[in-house]
Chain A
């Protein structure tokens, strides 16, 4: 029995998928591909970014709309996007959790409260993950608004801080709404049936080291490992070991230099992928191809979505 598959089911069947990894490895690309795969399978999906980032729309060939910051908007049919702005999330949170709108407005405009929110370590993270968590429960009429929420998390350490914030606050506040909600968010994150975690790396030493470290940190912070590793930007294997020897003996030439580069880099990449696979054990590892052409746009994303959507 395939342990990982039995435990996780398909990633697209979760309510929330968290995409995490080192800076620059293509987390937003993977998040966009997962969201697109969900939309193409008939699900209603949304990709959420935090810290007011807007990386996902251009990846999907959509314009960045600064006026839409903090609002949910449909980028392609069935696929929505939200850039979580911590300040706005604060206002929304207050309105939800305080009985009187007037009281909420007053607090939102109170210097003391703003200072409290800005200064309390981890408050921005809590509000952001809280906003994302609300998306998993949001309803339009009687219908659930989204079947799948994909969180494009910040790079390793900041991403972990985001996932750890609910527990921190549940522990620090002990009683009251923050403690209660922190506990609920945490329960969702820790439940492999509801939440999937995808660790992204590129086939280089540091990104792979961080991915391996993340797997350990996820077990510690959430009591659960990642469901899948994604190795992004794998070069095609064009040359055999025999070719490599022939290339070494070949005359110096720009084309031969290109071939040597690709052969050498490919070898390093495969060694790093093997290292990641060893460390992840039974957790599946999906490879995405290096894109020589455009890195952005719907056409490229459809290619990647087909791979991440069909991977089991």
Chain B
């Protein structure tokens, strides 16, 4: 396996995961573009795109539903019918509210849940809800017949794997059977085990009455929805494990993101989920000439004049230090992840904020415009 096309053949759901700050959003958009170039109707679900990336896609703003990118804008970068590119930005709170609406048996239940204080916390402020809603949205878009393929840009959580367990965590939260034993008045009467009653006394002492009351109301109101959430979580798990799904791990050559990539790959393996390949972003190109700084300055003296030639030589030497470190880091990471030929993307000289810049990233991922020597995979 080498280029993006080979790796993604037959895949319908592509999840891009990795540490924060490695350019996941850009890589996700470029992957979606690549699939659209091959005639697929593709939706990219991003978490937090650069405002200028949205603008460059011809969208005033991204919102919680997929928006189609104007086909006229896509022709110059090589996307033509039947290929389509759609984009949306996840709104965690809205997705959660909609889900409650879908799962509620009636409007009264829905309104009661939406008005509950604990739900406010769960859907809005709390870490983890973004991971859950990303999964819920992935499932929803995957079931949408308008699309052949979906690319998901995962949330920038500090632990890049949180979203894998998010559906299960939420289910266990809503599945508060153990809690119901001592929260619901009817349940209380049934508590006979000394352990449980001691626990309840301790809990009450610790939390104060208010919190327990809010939780009790929340669980009672949501009781009827628990089954729906459980089914949805199971469906998401099946979708992630389906043969048409693959995970791309995005990293930079830096130690932190590399460690996260290794950790994530281990979690994928443990969960029996498919690893589709490693993308290393923000790579500094290695100059195979390995010329020393003084020689570079001397060589460029005629064209640039001695003072500028010296500064250029210094800048080049500094970047070559980075490039050598990158190459060594990539080699280690590739070996640890078991992907001998990772897809490399150069550290660009500015933010990606138009379609042609995105197309340039796509070309690097696909290996179509990789200049020999410009980006060398460590052998």
- Interface residues of chain A, those whose CB is within 8 Å of chain B, are 22-25, 28, 51, 53, 55, 58, 94, 97-98, 103-104, 106-107, 110-113, 115-116, 118-122, 125, 154-158, 160-162, 164, 168-169, 172-179, 202, 204-207, 209, 238-239, 243, 246-247, 250-251, 253-262, 264-265, 268, 292-293, 295-296
Contact = CB atoms under 8 A, between A and B. Distances in A.
A117 B370 CA distance: 51
Contacts of A28: 256
B215 A264 contact: no
Nearest to B257: A24
Contacts of A259: 311-312, 315-316
Interface in B94-128: 117-118, 121-122, 125-128
B205 interface: yes
Given A154-B127, A158-B127, A259-B312, A24 B208 contact: no
B76 to A, nearest CB: 23
Given A111-B178, A112-B181, A292-B321, A155 B156 contact: yes
Given A259-B315, A268-B349, A251 B303 contact: yes
A172 B254 CA distance: 42
Contacts of A120: 211, 215
Instruction: Give 8 nearest A-B pairs by CB, closest first.
Output: A23-B20, A24-B21, A176-B208, A174-B210, A255-B316, A264-B349, A173-B208, A258-B316
B142 interface: no
A66 to B, nearest CB: 13
Nearest to B219: A119
Contacts of A178: 206-208, 211
A107 B203 contact: yes
Given A58-B255, A112-B181, A179 B158 contact: no
A116 B255 contact: no
Contacts, number: 218
Interface string B156-186: 1111000000000100110010110110000
Given A23-B158, A205-B52, A174 B196 contact: no
Given A207-B21, A259-B315, A103 B202 contact: yes
Interface residues of B, number: 78
B285 to A, nearest CB: 8
Q: Which of B21, B215, B255 has the most CB of A within 10 A?
A: B21
B309 to A, nearest CB: 9
A177 B20 contact: no
Nearest to A260: B349
A158 B312 contact: no
Contacts of A125: 126-127
A157 to B, nearest CB: 7
A179 B314 contact: no
28 contacts: A22-B21, A22-B156, A24-B19, A24-B257, A25-B21, A98-B206, A107-B202, A112-B181, A113-B203, A116-B203, A120-B211, A121-B129, A122-B121, A125-B127, A161-B127, A172-B117, A172-B118, A172-B214, A173-B210, A176-B206, A178-B211, A206-B351, A243-B308, A254-B285, A256-B300, A258-B315, A259-B311, A259-B312
Given A120-B215, A256-B300, A265-B349, A112 B178 contact: yes
B133 interface: no
Contact of B22 (A24, A177, A202, A250): A24
A59 to B, nearest CB: 9
B294 interface: no
